[in-house]
Amino acid sequence: MTLLQSFDARTGAAHGEPLNASTSADIDVAVQAAAAAFDTWGSSTGAQRAALLDALAAALEGDRDALVALADVETALGTARLSGEIDRTAFQLRRFADMATRGVPFERLDDPAVAGAPPAGHPAMLRQRVPLGPVAMFAASNFPFAFSVLGGDTASALAAGCSVVVKAHPGHPQLSQRVFGLIRGVLQDQGLPAGLVGLVQGAAIEVGVALVRHSLIAAGAFTGSTRGGAALQAEANARPRPIPFYGELGSINPVVALPAALDAKGAELAATLAGSIAVGCGQFCTNPGLIVLIDGPATDSLVAQLTAALATQQPHAMLTTGMRRAFDAGITRFIENGAQPLVQQPGSAQAPGPHLLQVSAAKFLQQPALHDEVFGPSSLIVRARSVAEVLAVLDAVGGSLTVTLWGAEAESDDTRALVRGAMAIAGRVLFAGVPTGVAVTAAQQHGGPWPASTQPMTTSVGDAALDRFLRPVSLQDAPAWLRAREGRPC
């Protein structure tokens, strides 16, 4: 049987005893159990869903100290950040509980019959939504709570009435097991089927592939690399019955700083940007990987200030040694393709130093290798000669979770064009602050055109994340008994 080893992210040393990787029989058992649980959970009430989600939030908070300590060993993200992430995860669970209580998953549109010939006349239509079924959920490495076993994907799927089989991330296997133990306890306390949330694990791609291929899986949710997400999306599409696959993949999150912003507060923006580039060792899907500037004295001074501010940052160890290697390789690739290093701190075996590179917009436009995400504490400055060149750079980026526009306070032809260019490629456009930090709220959009997301019309953060796991059904001329049951047969 294949084994899965946990590692101390700070030292690279093995941590604890190896765990067994899931076999194909284990995966089948977990999915069968999730399918059986869906039979009842799919018709659960909002109150039942809320009770489960609230209890899961309380269970996480109740085990905070042990969870944070374990997560800190496996991820090196630090206890303050990890404890804050538990707060965020519990908040997400309670927010979806509240939505279930308010009946959001059961909202329907009653469109009474209109007499007369079509198209104006039509039958009585009742449009509502049904849960998809068992969801294969791929935990992310960089948010061991908020995007992992009990993260937003699991919370929103349960609130929608779906069951879940989690593919644990091999970067924090012991933590995943501990969180899963909490879930089992809550399910048992509430008399719910153990299979409502399952967990499979492995350190090879076969486990995830088998999960997505399983005929009873109805949807996939994923946060991770573009390569991994693309491979799993292809698996989802290649099934005899393809399924929706909600992947949140790579993003370089351009920050466009116009001279108007730099004239007013360049030093402050440089310090803020340096912090955002290095926070969490740069391991955020919203890390500002591209800084787009227009040549001139204000830009020269921002570049000098940012160089100085970033050089003093001391990122902590990366999540895994593989990510550390990938970071070094990404920086080397940028330099080989013409980027000039401005900050190049060596770092240690586990913790990279911060990096800042610079290139002209003309070179960036010419060289697609410079458009790749380099996951870690680095950013690439692109120096443009005009607003038109900035727009060309945004267009070349293609798809991004965010675009930040600093200095667009006044309306002009330029700011209108830039806002339009930003909206064309990003799911979220910021006019202040930095893209790291994603509010869990009603109007959030965390997704964007490829490669930010496989389904740019959906979000993996915020209230609308629920919509991914519900499918619309119209009931036409439904009988009275069904209408009396608000369109829910059982």
**Among 130, 231, 362, 396, interactor with ligand NAP by CB under 6 A:** 231
**Among 53, 249, 397, 461, interactor with ligand NAP by CB under 6 A:** 249
The residue to which tokens 């002209």 are assigned: 360
The DSSP 8-state label assigned to residue 16 in this structure reads E
> Residue 392, interface with ligand NAP (CB under 6 A)?
no
> Residue 454, interface with ligand NAP (CB under 6 A)?
no
Beta carbons of 168 and 150 less than 8 angstroms apart: no
What distances in angstroms separate CA 360 from CA 122, 385, 399, one per listed residue?
59, 9, 20
Has 285 been annotated as catalytic?
A: yes
Q: How far apart are the first and last CA of the chain?
A: 43
Has 248 been annotated as catalytic?
A: yes
Sketch the per residue contact string, 189 through 208, with ligand NAP: x for CB under 6 A, - otherwise: -------------xxxx--x
> Residue 334, interface with ligand NAP (CB under 6 A)?
no
> Residue 223, interface with ligand NAP (CB under 6 A)?
yes
CA distance 182 to 180: 5
- Radius of gyration for the chain, computed over Cα atoms and rounded to the nearest angstrom: 24
CA distance 15 to 178: 15
Nearest distance, CB of residue 155 and ligand NAP, angstroms: 17
Q: Which of 162, 285, 373, 389 is catalytic?
A: 285
> Residue 209, interface with ligand NAP (CB under 6 A)?
yes
> Residue 140, interface with ligand NAP (CB under 6 A)?
yes
Nearest distance, CB of residue 352 and ligand NAP, angstroms: 12
User: For residues 273-292, which are near ligand NAP according to CB under 6 A?
Assistant: 285
> Residue 169, interface with ligand NAP (CB under 6 A)?
yes
User: For residues 341-370, which are near ligand NAP according to CB under 6 A?
Assistant: none
CA distance 282 to 168: 22
Q: What is the DSSP string of 113-132?
A: -B-SSTTT-B--EEEEEEE-
The residue type of 115 is A
CA-CA-CA-CA torsion for 443, 460, 161, 83, nearest 10 degrees?
A: -90
Nearest distance, CB of residue 447 and ligand NAP, angstroms: 11
Nearest partner of 310 among 262, 347, 264, 336, judged by Cα:
347
**Among 170, 280, 399, 427, interactor with ligand NAP by CB under 6 A:** 170
Give burial (CB, 10 Å; 0-12/13-18/19+) of 354: buried
The residues annotated with a catalytic role in the active site are 248, 285
The footprint of ligand NAP (CB under 6 A) covers 138, 140-142, 167, 169-170, 202-205, 208-209, 223-225, 228, 231-232, 248-251, 285, 323, 326, 373, 375
